[in-house]
Amino acid sequence: MYDVVIAGGGPAGSSAASYLRLKNRRVLLLERERFPRFHLGESLLPFGIDLFRELGVFEEIDRRYIHKPGARFLHEESGASFTFYFDRAIDPGRPYAYQVPRADFDKLLLDNSGRLGAEVRQETTVRKVIRHTDRVEVVARGSDGTEYAVEASMFVDATGRDALLATELGLKVPDGGITTNVACFTHFENALRQEGSDEGNFTGILFDGGWWWFIPFKGNITSVGVVFEKEYTMARRGKTPQELFEGAVAEQREIKKILAHATRVRPIDTTGNWSYRSKCFHGDRYLIVGDAAAFIDPLFSTGVLMAMAGGKFAAEAIDTALTAGDFRSDRFADYQERCLAGADLFKKLVHEFYGEDLRRLLIHSGDNPTMVSIIVSLLAGDVYKKAVWQSAVSAGFSQFADLSRVPGQRRVRTIRQNKDAAK
C-alpha cells in the first residue's frame, strides 16, 4: 500500500514524486518508456531555478547546460529585432535560464526522484485506474508483459499529452483561440549563433504565417523548429513535413542566414495542434498534473515550469490530504487554482501574440522600460505569486499599441494587415 502512485516520469511526475519524498511519503512512479527518450520543450525559464534548488539538482543542471540570458525576437518582414534580458525582470535575482536536451534533462529529474527514495519502474504502462472509497487500485503492465495491481491512497496522472484520465473522463477541451496547427522540428550542427554571453539566447523569428524557434545547446547542436498557422499550411496542403520546413527556409531571409552553413542531424519530425485544458484537475483520490492537465502553445517555453510547479503544488495538496485522511475532490480545488494562476497569465500572453498586439510589442517595446520589465517578468516565469504588474497583462496589450510606431523603424505589419494589403 503506497501513499501515492504516479503515472508518468516526465518533469511533472518526477517533480511530484521528489517533493512527496521530501515529505517522507511512500511513492511509486510508473513510466511507460525507458529514459532517456527524446522530447520537445527544450528551453527553460529562470523561475525554474527556485524549483531546481529545492529538489537538490541546481548545481548539476548549472554544470551541464548552456546559460540562456534572454529571449531575442526577430521580425522577418521588417528586419526589426529586440532582445529581452532576464536581469531586467521586476523580481531580480534570476538572470538566466537554460537550454536543455530534454532526453538528458528529464532523465536527471527522474533519477533524482529515485535518489530521494521514490520507487521508479520504467517500461511500465498504466492500464486502468479504479477508484474505491478507501483506496485507488492501479493496474499496470510491466516490461515483461505481465499485468499486476498496486494500491495507494492517491493517484497522480502525469501522462503528458496522452492525458489518461482527462481523455477517459471526457475532460479535455481544445483551446480554440490558438491559430496554429502544425510544428516541424529537427536538430542542426554548426548553425549560426550569437556571440559571447548571448550564445545561449532563445531566438524566435516571427513571420507572416507562423514563427521559428532557435534553441542552442552546449556544444554545436541547435534545436530548430517552425510553428505554422493554419492558413499557411492550408495554402500548402499535400506537402510533407520536410517540404514544409525546407520551403519555409528557402522563402525567408533570417532563418536562411542562420542555417546557411549548418548540417541537419535529425529527421524533420512533426506534431499537431496541442493547446488544451482539462475542465477539472482533480477528483476523489486523484490529481492531474502537467501536460495531462493543460498545455499551452510553446511560444514562450512554459511547459517545463508549469509541469514542475504543478508537481510541487500536487505534492503539497496530497501531503495535507494524507495527514487529514480526507481525499474528497473538493479539498483539491485550491490545487487547481494555484496551477491556473500561472497558466492563465501564460495563456493570455499567447492569445495576445496570435491576436497580433503582442507581436508588435515584442519587437518595438525598447522605448518603454516598464513594458520591457513586464514582458521580461512573464518570459522569466514569474506567474505564481500575485503582483501589481500582472494587471497590465490581464487588461491586454492593446493599450500599448502605439509602441508599434517607433520613430526610425519600419512598423511591424500584422498578418491581418498584410492580407488586407494583398487584396
Q: What is the mean pLDDT of residues 257-274?
A: 91
Q: In terms of domains, do 267 and 281 share one? A: no
In the predicted model, is pLDDT for residue 329 greater than 80?
A: yes
The predicted model gives 206-234 an average pLDDT of 93
pTM score: 0.91
Q: What residue numbers bound the domain in which 193 lies?
A: 180-272
- Please indicate whether residue 142 or residue 301 has the higher confidence score (pLDDT): 142
* Predicted pLDDT of residue 6: 98
Question: Does 126 fall in a domain?
Answer: yes
**Position 272 pLDDT exceeds 80:** no
Same domain as 308, residue 284: yes
Encode pLDDT of 89-136 as tens digits: 999 899 999 999 999 999 999 999 999 999 999 999 999 999 999 999
150 shares its domain with 196: no
Q: Are residues 16 and 161 in the same domain?
A: yes
Does 196 lie in the same domain as 263? yes
Domain-embedded: residue 25: yes
The answer for 346, left when phi > 0, alpha when psi is -120 to 50, beta otherwise, is alpha
Which tens digits make up the pLDDT trace of 10-46? 999 999 999 999 999 999 999 999 999 999 999 999 9
In a domain, 375, yes or no: no
Q: What is the CATH number of the domain that holds 256?
A: 3.30.9.100
Same domain, 193 and 249: yes
Q: Is residue 420 part of a domain?
A: no
Q: Vertex 83, ends 78 and 84: CA angle to 5°?
A: 135
> Do the Cβ atoms of 21 and 312 come closer than 8 Å?
no
Q: What is the pLDDT of residues 167-178, one digit of tens each?
A: 999 999 987 766
Per-residue pLDDT at 414 exceeds 50: no
CATH of residue 129: 3.50.50.60
The reply to whether 318 falls in a domain is yes
Q: How many domains does the chain have?
A: 2
- Output phi, psi for 198, to 5 deg: -80, -5
Domain identity same for 121 and 251 = no
Query: 381 lies in a domain?
Result: no
pLDDT tens digit sequence for 357-369: 567 777 777 667 8
> What are the distances in angstroms from CA 123 to CA 37, 46, 131, 177?
12, 32, 23, 36
130 and 193 inside one domain: no
Q: Is residue 84 part of a domain?
A: no
